[in-house]
């Protein structure tokens, strides 16, 4: 027994030494929590996205008069929904919560945050802090001034076509995405150890690293944290009722730009309404409508399966077989769905998603088809 304990202690010491030397201490946190959760803001440090003068979202005259159809409700419950909100003509017509969540409960956006970073990039362009979408990311990030990395532009980051080797695997504790999520040095994770596999701007491949690099570009360009810039350019102007929490890699560190903007269904819906009205909020043009048109237009480049990536825009997802529809998407079925032809915005938050369907998921099609038919 004594020899056994000595061996265990020695192995533990060796493991800690190796992970420290290789910078992989984050795996302990990854192994402790195993999978990402909608309440993960509780295990991370967070920056606050502050509010200004709040603008409550009105309830429609039909509020609580329209019932969620049984088949829709059953599907929402099957995928462990915690919030469901439907706006038509900028007013709430349907609202429901599960499992103790409410209209003020924080829930992780996961990759819906990518859309927010995209919108902030548009704001930086309007503010003259970025010369153009074709400006080199290396103008802001020294590590990207060399070789093929200097060919990476802001546009190629927005369109997930940087060509980098970022490992988007969610199942391995050693993947780059896992390190970004649980690690404590996002700047290093995003800028070192990557290689250019494809010529930037030529192939679409989903990479959280592209959005993280965008976040770093914005910090350099604006001289502000993402949270401070988001508060100034979006969260305050759209009258959010609750401060948001943007999770960081450590106290005072970098926001997880590619994920982890924590808010509630009602305040998330404001992002959808801003997009629905092409960047206009209550008569004030916050973001150039031409940029919103660009961001919500399908890409024409090929993806890594040699298909046309017409299901994606600029940090936004599209449904090519449901023309005009676009949406923000998170890994556990976080959605802000915009249906312009019906003047509808749908928010769904929850703990898992359904089966894949045509580069999207079954529940997205179910909700869109229901809205197109009955709302």
Distance CA 285, CA 177 (A): 35
Where does residue 261 fall: left (phi above 0), alpha (psi -120 to 50 degrees), or beta otherwise? Answer: beta
Q: What is the pLDDT of residue 11?
A: 35
Cα–Cα distances in angstroms (integers) from residue 266 to residues 38, 184, 335, 375, in the given order:
16, 31, 12, 19
DSSP 8-state secondary structure symbol assigned to residue 31: H
187, 216 contact by CB (below 8 A): yes
Domain boundaries, the chain: 2-32, 52-374
Q: What is the pLDDT of residue 16?
A: 36
Q: What is the pLDDT of residue 86?
A: 98
pTM reported for the whole predicted model: 0.93
pLDDT tens string, the chain, 375 residues long: the values are: 555 444 443 333 333 333 443 445 666 665 665 689 999 999 999 999 999 999 999 999 999 899 999 999 999 999 999 999 999 999 999 999 999 999 999 999 999 999 999 999 999 999 999 999 999 999 999 999 887 788 999 999 999 999 999 999 877 787 899 999 999 999 999 998 888 889 999 999 999 999 999 999 999 999 999 999 999 999 999 999 999 999 999 999 999 999 999 999 999 999 999 999 999 999 999 999 999 999 999 999 999 999 999 999 999 999 999 999 999 999 999 999 999 999 999 999 999 999 999 999 999 999 999 999 999
The CATH architecture that domain 52-374 belongs to is: 3-Layer(aba) Sandwich (3.40)
Bridge partners (DSSP) listed for residue 357 = 360
84, 68 contact by CB (below 8 A): yes
Q: What is the pLDDT of residue 3?
A: 52
Q: What is the pLDDT of residue 195?
A: 86
């Amino acid at each position: 027994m004594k020899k056994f304990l000595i061996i265990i202690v020695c192995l533990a010491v060796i493991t800690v030494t190796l992970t420290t030397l290789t910078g992989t201490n984050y795996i302990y946190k990854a192994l402790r929590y195993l999978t990402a959760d909608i309440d993960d803001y509780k295990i991370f440090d967070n920056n606050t996205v502050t509010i200004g003068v709040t603008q409550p979202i009105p309830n429609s005259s039909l509020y609580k008069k329209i019932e969620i159809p049984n088949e829709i409700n059953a599907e929402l419950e099957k995928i462990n929904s915690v919030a469901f909100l439907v706006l038509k003509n900028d007013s709430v017509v349907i609202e429901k919560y599960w499992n103790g969540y409410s209209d003020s409960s924080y829930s992780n956006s996961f990759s819906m945050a990518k859309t927010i970073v995209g919108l902030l990039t548009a704001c930086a362009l309007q503010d003259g802090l970025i010369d153009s979408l074709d400006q080199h990311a290396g103008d802001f990030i020294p590590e990207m001034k060399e070789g093929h990395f200097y060919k990476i532009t802001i546009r190629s980051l927005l369109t997930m076509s940087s060509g980098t080797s970022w490992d988007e695997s969610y199942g391995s504790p050693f993947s780059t995405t896992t390190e970004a999520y649980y690690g404590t040095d996002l700047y290093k994770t995003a800028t070192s150890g990557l290689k250019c596999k494809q010529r930037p701007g030529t192939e679409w491949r989903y990479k959280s690293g592209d959005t993280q690099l965008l976040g770093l570009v914005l910090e350099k360009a604006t001289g502000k944290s993402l949270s401070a810039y988001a508060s100034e350019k979006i969260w305050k102007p759209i009258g959010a009722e609750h401060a948001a929490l943007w999770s960081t890699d450590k106290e005072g560190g970098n926001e997880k730009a590619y994920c982890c903007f924590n808010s509630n269904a009602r305040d998330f819906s404001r992002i959808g309404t801003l997009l629905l009205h092409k960047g206009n909020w209550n008569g004030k043009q916050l973001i150039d409508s031409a940029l919103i048109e660009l961001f919500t237009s399908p890409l024409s480049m090929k993806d890594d399966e040699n298909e046309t990536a017409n299901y994606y825009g600029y940090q936004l997802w599209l449904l090519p077989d449901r023309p005009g529809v676009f949406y923000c998407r998170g890994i556990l079925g976080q959605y802000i769905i915009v249906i312009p032809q019906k003047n509808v915005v749908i928010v769904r938050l929850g703990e898992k998603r359904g089966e894949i369907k045509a580069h999207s998921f079954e529940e997205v099609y179910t909700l869109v088809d229901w809205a197109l038919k009955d709302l």
